[in-house]
Amino acid sequence: MNLRERYEELEEKILSPLATISKNSKGREKDEKKCDIRTDFQRDRDRIIHSKAFRRLKHKTQVFIAPEGDHYRTRLTHTLEVSQIARTISRAIRLNEDLTEAIALGHDLGHTPFGHTGEFALDKVTSNGFKHNYQSLRVVEYLEKGKGLNLTHEVKDGILSHSGELTAATNEGKVVKLADKIAYINHDIDDAIRAGILKNDDLPKECIKVLGKTNSERLNKMIMAVIMHAINYGEIKLIGEVGEATWELRRFMFENVYYGSEAKKEEDKAQNLVISLFEYYMKKPEEMPKEYNQRVIEFGLEQSVIDYIAGMTDRYAIHEFNRLFIPSPWQKYF
């Protein structure tokens, strides 16, 4: 019995009936020789961490577009916070922490430059619309390394189902979907206060009375509510008094930060930038890197342009816009 097999045997002994057991995975689209050390879900986590798409998240917007300050969240730090929250919940209720972590680390790989602003822009101009969770799945199925990462069915399902009306097939995927919301509600409050857009006193008093005055208190209340409901009822939900306060606080953030606040004053520029790039490459696909031109035959022109733009970081998108649309000064003086 190798190390992987020993670990798989241990999972069956210590994990909850609610958990997804590694050796019971539905597997990968392409069969592979098993690793002697790591379970399939551990391998998936490692593949995501070592991907280029994961590294690019450090230069993609969370809420504040291309922030100058060192302490504002980016899409990468958001991902790490989601992973931490999701692992805490999964460990407490004895779910498969490796599966949870893999889903959490991969859930935003398909996010556009400028966060949801870029997502809305592509959704406007593409013929079939654009959703970042579908693009995240596309990254791990086709785009990364030019052939995808060949992840397990359970990890791909969790990545796709973390957003929108979809429901994950595993409890680990359901945990990540809640952890995503718990993370951004709280860290976006922290960033908004740092930016001077909100003050602590602005937060809804009834919500704060239930959830707590500090970021730490609120996180603890929300996480504990999910854990206790799972222990008592065998369901992954955030409901009851804490759940109601959480969703009310989320509504407050949409009204006061995500829509129409000072944090969003550059959004129109960002959307115009993304739309301009899309329109330009649709007319001149030869201007895209060679690898994306080669995909036109397989995936079509529009999808290849979407893949290229969605993969850009904020700063790369700005660089490309400047290169294509802003005249360079003439430098030959003599």
319-326 mean pLDDT = 96
Query: Residues 6 or more apart from 133 whose CB is under 8 A from it?
Result: 107, 110, 159, 160, 161, 162, 163, 164, 166
Can you tell me the mean pLDDT for 67-87?
92
pLDDT at 262: 76
Which pLDDT score is estimated for 65? 78
DSSP conformational letter for 19: S
Report all structural domains of the chain as residue ranges with CATH numbers, in order of start: 39-312 (1.10.3210.10)
CA atoms within 13 A on the CB side of 180: 23
Residue type, 309: I
Predicted confidence at residue 242, as pLDDT, reads 98
Q: What is the pLDDT of residue 279?
A: 98
Q: Per-residue b/e over 150-177, b at no fewer than 16 CB within 10 Å?
A: bbbebbbbbbbbbbeeeebbbbbbbbbb
Q: Which of 3-17, 73-87, 261-275, 281-295 has the lowest mean pLDDT?
A: 261-275
Whole-number pLDDT of residue 334: 58
Whether the pTM exceeds 0.85: the reply is yes
Q: Report d(CA 111, CA 300) in Å as an integer.
A: 20
